[in-house]
Amino acid sequence: MQHLKWRNLAFNLHRYLGLAVGLVLVVIGLTGSLLVFMPEIDAQMIQQRFGTVTPQTQVVPVDQLVDTVKATYAEHPDWKVGQVQMLPDHKFYTVRLNRPDQTQWEVFVNPYTGTVIGDRQRETAFFSRVLNLHYALLSGDIGTIIAGIAALLLFILSITGILLWPGWRKLISGFKVKWKAHPKRRNYDIHKVAGIVAAIFLAFTAFTGFCWNFYDQSTAVIYTATFTPKPPDMKSTVVEGKSSLTLNEALRQSELALPDAITTFITLPTKPDQVFEFYKKVPQDSEDFNSHVRVDRYSGKVLEIQDSRVAKLGDRVLNSFTPLHYGTFGDIPTRILYLFVGLAPTILLITGFVMWRFRRRVKQVKLGVVVKGRDNLELGERSKEHDQFPMK
């Protein structure tokens, strides 16, 4: 009896949460499918638009590339270099200029010749819009909160779906679809099979998405739960009258700190007390940003080293978010799987809605029979009364 009570609770929670948040999850799921291969597709789109880059043996020092970009956009002195992306899979570097209106201008540079090959506003790029729709529903901070709550509800839906799966009683029936059965049964079978196949991966993406959308709160909880000290905010020690290190000088310091790592992304200081941040990929990394080095912009002192190979538990948990969310933990096969996982909310919403409609129609028919029966009974009682007390 207690088991039945909890099952009914899980069933009602699963049904009504799905109906309530289903459309939002469809948008998030479909855009998520588009984002699975975003880096490769976006890089290909950039090269098709601006021309290909032929790899050579030597690259131009990164600070010279930055100086070239500054000179190219000298008519915009208030555009400040904020980041340099140097992904090894891309044949070009991307220098991002921070503009006063809080937008970014992306400049694509040939790292072998040092020439600018093209540019675009980051926010208007196709995948930037898709990403914004995915995590913020194109609605700023409010959209980020809504999408984060929807992710939490998707996590609950995934767990309740796993608990309600009929395969726990008989494994074969849990994966069987009766294609020639009544539409109601066929629809139910599609729902249960699609749900159980995607449930674990939807739970991964939902949990990580929720944590990202509520990043400050979730990181605090993760560090506390794993007994990992939260890394302090790093700041440069301002020295009056002393100029900042060049980018190449700071880069050399980071390379000495992690000599076997490849630099993939650089954040340059734009304020006096900010630091150089160098994100790295060590040989064992599956991701491009799991390791990093922070360098004081005046003294060149290495303030922090995070090597993913020896990272603390809390940092390892956070580093696992990207592969779990995008399916990169198994390389191409799992990414292809995640492409279809993103379609699951659409399938589950449609089949779930059909199931709800069938169930509602049955209830309405039963209610109609009951009401009609009551009306006939009342009419019969009135007839008897008329027979007993005929009007004179």
Distance CA 59, CA 130 (A): 32
∠ CA 237-242-244, nearest 5°, is 75
So what's the pLDDT on residue 379? 42
Give yes or no for residue 383 having a pLDDT over 50: no
So what's the pLDDT on residue 376? 52
Report whether 155 contacts 207 (CB < 8 A). yes
Token pair, residue 87, equals 């992904």
Burial of 254 (0-12, 13-18, 19+ CB in 10 A): buried
Tell me what the mean pLDDT of segment 88-111 comes to: 94
So what's the pLDDT on residue 387? 41
Longest dimension (CA), the chain: 117
Confidence band for 6, pLDDT divided at 50, 70 and 90 = confident
Give yes or no for residue 391 having a pLDDT over 50: no
So what's the pLDDT on residue 285? 87
What percent of the chain shows pLDDT beyond 90? 81
So what's the pLDDT on residue 392? 34
Distance CA 69, CA 196 (A): 51
Q: pLDDT tens across 181-194, in order?
A: 988 899 999 999 99
So what's the pLDDT on residue 358? 83
Q: Which residues contact 346 (CB under 8 A, 6 or more apart)?
A: 26, 29, 30
Rg (CA), the chain: 29
Top-confidence residue, 161 or 367 = 161
So what's the pLDDT on residue 378? 47
Distance CA 6, CA 188 (A): 21
- Torsion sign across C-alpha atoms 372, 377, 379, 380: positive
Give yes or no for residue 380 having a pLDDT over 60: no
So what's the pLDDT on residue 382? 41
Confidence band for 359, pLDDT divided at 50, 70 and 90 = confident
Report whether 99 contacts 122 (CB < 8 A). no
So what's the pLDDT on residue 366? 66
pLDDT, the chain, mean: 91
Report whether 379 contacts 385 (CB < 8 A). no
Tell me what the mean pLDDT of segment 118-139 comes to: 96
Report whether 263 contacts 254 (CB < 8 A). yes
Give yes or no for residue 147 having a pLDDT over 50: yes
Which region among 205-209, 256-260, 324-328, 366-370 has the lowest average model confidence (pLDDT)?
366-370
225, amino acid identity: A
**Which DSSP string corresponds to 347-366?**
HHHHHHHHHHHHHHHHHHHH
- Torsion sign across C-alpha atoms 142, 147, 150, 152: negative
How many other C-beta atoms are found inside a 10 Å radius of the C-beta of residue 108?
24
Give yes or no for residue 370 having a pLDDT over 70: no
Q: What does each C-alpha distance from 62 to 12, 69, 95, 122, 297 come to in angstroms?
A: 58, 11, 10, 21, 16
Confidence band for 388, pLDDT divided at 50, 70 and 90 = very low
Point out which residues pair with 81 in neighbouring strands: 97
Give yes or no for residue 350 having a pLDDT over 80: yes
Tell me what the mean pLDDT of segment 195-223 comes to: 97
Distance CA 20, CA 154 (A): 11
Q: pLDDT tens across 157-172, in order?
A: 999 999 999 999 889 9
Closest CA to 258 of 200, 306, 197: 306
How is the chain split into domains, by residue range? 12-225
pTM: 0.87
So what's the pLDDT on residue 10? 92
Tell me what the mean pLDDT of segment 71-77 comes to: 96
So what's the pLDDT on residue 90? 83
Confidence band for 368, pLDDT divided at 50, 70 and 90 = low
∠ CA 311-222-288, nearest 5°, is 45
Q: Which residues contact 124 (CB under 8 A, 6 or more apart)?
A: none
Q: Which residues contact 40 (CB under 8 A, 6 or more apart)?
A: 89
Token pair, residue 104, equals 């970014």
So what's the pLDDT on residue 183? 87
Strand order across the beta sheet in which 291-295 lies: 116-121, 104-109, 93-98, 80-85, 262-267, 276-281, 291-295, 302-306
So what's the pLDDT on residue 286? 82
Look at phi and psi of residue 61 and say left if phi exceeds 0, alpha if psi is from -120 to 50, else beta.
beta
Give yes or no for residue 36 having a pLDDT over 50: yes
Give yes or no for residue 371 having a pLDDT over 70: no
Distance CA 187, CA 348 (A): 10
Q: pLDDT tens across 263-277, in order?
A: 999 999 999 999 999
